[in-house]
């Protein structure tokens, strides 16, 4: 998997964008701009949804970067259901207007990957973490810390894409997956991290430091 820079449009979006533009162009040709305008607006929405901008990588090896664009909806001590340990969970909710490519929060190696099918309740709700379709990665960071990074499908999302398996090496900010049409990402971190964000903060994948490892 390539590092940045990525193409401006995520590869996952080309079939959707191509189809939307083709239909809009056909209706424009057959019926004119008036009837095609809603279809061009849909094509514009698809274009903005699948944008995938390059990002500068801040901090150092102890910085935990946001794995997604969105809003912080949870910061709480929990039991990590994947590694069966006490952890601090930070959740980022993505609406349909956010960039939806997912990037590695730390430098490290993927030790395990789990996939669970599930429901599609609103990803803004905390129960989405345990009830929705989800894909989890156990990443052993370069600093020796266990990080669990979980892609969670949302109310509209029906497809989680993950391009890494156990053994893959990840760099901070490296793109590893995508979730289509509304979702969230949960991070389970060591309990002694220094949190750098608060509930309600808007964050950007790679650009925002969520926490500092001890």
Query: What is the rounded distance in angstroms from the CA atom of residue 208 to the CA atom of residue 67?
Result: 9
| Length reported for the chain | 214
Tokens of 191: 């309990």
Query: What is the rounded distance in angstroms from the CA atom of residue 106 to the CA atom of residue 209?
Result: 10
Q: How many alpha carbons fall within 13 Å on the CB side of residue 84?
A: 0
Query: What is the rounded distance in angstroms from the CA atom of residue 157 to the CA atom of residue 201?
Result: 23
Query: What is the rounded distance in angstroms from the CA atom of residue 3 to the CA atom of residue 214?
Result: 27
Pairing of strands 134-141, 146-153: antiparallel
Q: Which of 63, 104, 141, 183 is catalytic?
A: 183
How many other CB atoms are found less than 10 A from the CB of residue 29?
9
At 19, give phi and psi (nearest 5°): -65, -40
DSSP states along 167-214: T-EE-TT-EEEEE-SSEEEEEEE-TT-EE---TT-EE-TTTSEEEE--
Q: Indicate if 101 belongs to the active site.
A: no
Catalytic residue IDs: 183
């Amino acid at each position: 998997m390539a590092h940045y820079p990525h193409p401006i449009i995520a590869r996952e979006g080309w079939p959707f964008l191509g189809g939307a533009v083709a239909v809009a162009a056909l209706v424009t040709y057959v019926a004119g701009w008036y009837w095609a305008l809603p279809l061009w607006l849909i094509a514009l929405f698809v274009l903005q949804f699948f944008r995938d901008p390059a990002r500068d990588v801040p901090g150092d090896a102890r910085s935990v970067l946001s794995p997604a664009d969105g809003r912080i909806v949870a910061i709480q001590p929990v039991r990590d259901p994947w590694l069966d340990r006490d952890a601090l969970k930070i959740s980022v909710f993505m609406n349909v207007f956010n960039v939806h490519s997912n990037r590695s929060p730390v430098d490290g190696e993927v030790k395990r990957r789990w996939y669970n099918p599930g429901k599609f309740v609103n990803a803004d709700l905390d129960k989405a973490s345990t009830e929705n379709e989800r894909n989890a990665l156990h990443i052993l960071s370069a600093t020796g810390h266990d990080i669990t990074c979980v892609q969670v499908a949302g109310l509209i999302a029906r497809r989680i894409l993950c391009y890494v398996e156990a053994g893959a090496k990840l760099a901070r900010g490296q793109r590893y997956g995508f979730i289509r049409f509304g979702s969230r990402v949960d991070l389970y971190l060591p309990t002694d991290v220094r949190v750098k964000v608060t509930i309600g903060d808007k964050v950007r994948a790679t650009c925002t430091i969520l926490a500092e490892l001890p």
